Amino acid sequence: MRRRMRLASAQGMDKSAGRHDRMDTNALNSFSQGPGLVAGISSGTLFASMFWGAVGCGFFVYAKKQRSIPALLGGVGLIVISYFIGSPLWMSVAAVGIIAGVWFLSRYD
């Protein structure tokens, strides 16, 4: 009987119920929780940052050629916005607001 209990404890079995102990899988679960990137950046945030950054870069290049201050500031704002807003939805709302502000300032300048 003692040999059996020693063998069971060596194999990771619970002595009282005869069941196996569960393995600690916290480290493994972090990989299986879905698409996530380094530092908690989701794929939606990455896509929105790249999209609005590219639009901002276009605004910046256009503003340099046309010498338009509102478009230049809007382009810089669109590039920088992804550093301060982590949600793709709110980033898009703020970007549309910046674009509307550039349009308004350029239209009525």
Residues 61 and 109 in one domain: yes
85 pLDDT above the threshold of 70:
yes
Number of domain units in the chain: 2
pLDDT of 25 reads 57
Rounded Cα distance between 12 and 6, Å, is 10
Whether residues 98 and 49 share a domain: the answer is yes
Residues whose CB falls within 8 Å of the CB of residue 109, separated by 6 or more in sequence, listed in order: 70
- The pLDDT tens digits of the residues spanning 39-51 come to 677 888 999 999 9
Residue-number span of the structural domain to which 3 is assigned = 1-33
What's the chain's average pLDDT?
Answer: 78
Q: Are residues 48 and 73 in the same domain?
A: yes
Phi, psi of 65 (to 5 degrees): -70, -40
Question: SS3 of 46, please?
Answer: helix
Q: Distance between CA 55 and CA 109 in Å, rounded?
A: 22
